[in-house]
Copies of this chain bind each other. A is one copy, B any other.
């Protein structure tokens, strides 16, 4: 199946908005084994948009559009798809009800213009939009499939994942070639170091392997192609490769596929019935924000202190004046006292602290920008780890959060090992 993606929106052609949707959708097509031949971006201009839609529907089996579903007169995607496919526009009363409810929840009457959002090309299957007022649609006609999605990525993504994806799977059927993929996520090793350790694994005959550098982690992406009926072999090849990679990289592999560092740490804390607290300086609240990102975080996260000023380090956390004066706020000693302080203040099982120089200013020869100490206080004792990160302020802060979470993960792994070997 050959596909193309058409984004409409004048803001995309003014350099205001980056088209992340084409990137997102093309990755999804790739996993489904659908070849994407073109991305096209076109403004909210009826003639040009119509011409692009006509060309796309002519040359591709699947056309996915994003944008142009708003209530205003220049939002024309559905209308022009209908024109190109020779379909009438019809009111979908259930969509209209939902749009009215959307405004009802906001205690506002629905503006008349929004009624337009409940009209679709005849024969459309509606893709609901729980977040906004623009439902999407999927149309199958004359051997072609058109999927119409809204422009804002936070509306488009859940609509695609929850409603369009299953439709595509149905349309493809069991005999189409899929990508069987596995992404292994690594923290604490760079691209070349991983390449060196993996060596000949990088070019196995039956699967492709690619390294992708993300902001605070590395991803190893394994892909083996097969039809759904022969997916057993492909999955076996993936499994063998994964085992070998994990054997070589050990604890550096922290997760796979949709797993995130915070997801793994949170789940582990819940499973072990452990609570955690934070004392943050250079991360300014980002670590707490990460720990509370997923629902259910109140089961393990008690809270913390953002001790951005020294007076809070002393006043709430009980860091000693002497320690601050002797070693400075960015030091192993202060990281340790911060972690101890928040642990005793909150009565949590574990506590983590961060102190560092996020930059761009504030660095010195002895304490350069990117120097970070992460403190860990646990029932078994307290210690701090030193890191030297590189990059801009936000990277240093994100890397610090990731290092702190990874430290928690490794602490729990090693206490497990001690218990298993009978030392604990």
Contact = CB atoms under 8 A, between A and B. Distances in A.
Interface of A: 10-20, 22-24, 26-30, 35-43, 45, 48, 52, 70-72, 105-106, 111, 113-114, 131, 152, 154, 158, 183, 191-192, 195-196, 210, 212-213, 215, 219, 221, 278, 280, 283-298, 301-309, 311-312, 315-316, 345-347, 358-362, 388, 390-395, 397
B26 A39 contact: no
Contact of A280 (B213, B285, B311): B285
A69 to B, nearest CB: 12
B284 A131 contact: no
B292 A288 contact: no
A308 B301 contact: yes
A410 to B, nearest CB: 21
Contacts of A391: 131, 154
Contacts of A292: 283-285, 306, 308
Q: Which has the most chain B C-beta neighbours within 10 Å: A16, A196, A395?
A: A16
17 contacts: A13-B26, A13-B36, A14-B27, A14-B221, A15-B29, A15-B30, A16-B212, A22-B41, A40-B40, A106-B390, A131-B391, A280-B288, A284-B289, A284-B297, A304-B308, A305-B316, A311-B347
A198 to B, nearest CB: 12
Nearest to A193: B108
Contacts of A303: 305-309, 312
A19 B39 CA distance: 10
Contact of A16 (B71, B210, B312): B210
A187 to B, nearest CB: 16
A68 to B, nearest CB: 14
A192 B111 contact: yes
B39 A41 contact: yes
B37 A26 contact: no
B39 A40 contact: yes
Given A284-B288, A346-B312, A23 B18 contact: yes
A17 B192 CA distance: 19
A154 B19 contact: no
Nearest to A7: B39
A278 B307 CA distance: 11
Contacts of A298: 308-309
Contacts of A278: 285, 306
A305 B178 CA distance: 49
A308 B299 CA distance: 10
Contacts of A24: 15
B312 A308 contact: no
Given A312-B346, A316-B345, A17 B305 contact: no
A295 B369 CA distance: 12
A215 B152 CA distance: 9
B45 A37 contact: yes
A37 B45 CA distance: 9
Given A10-B210, A393-B295, A192 B48 contact: no
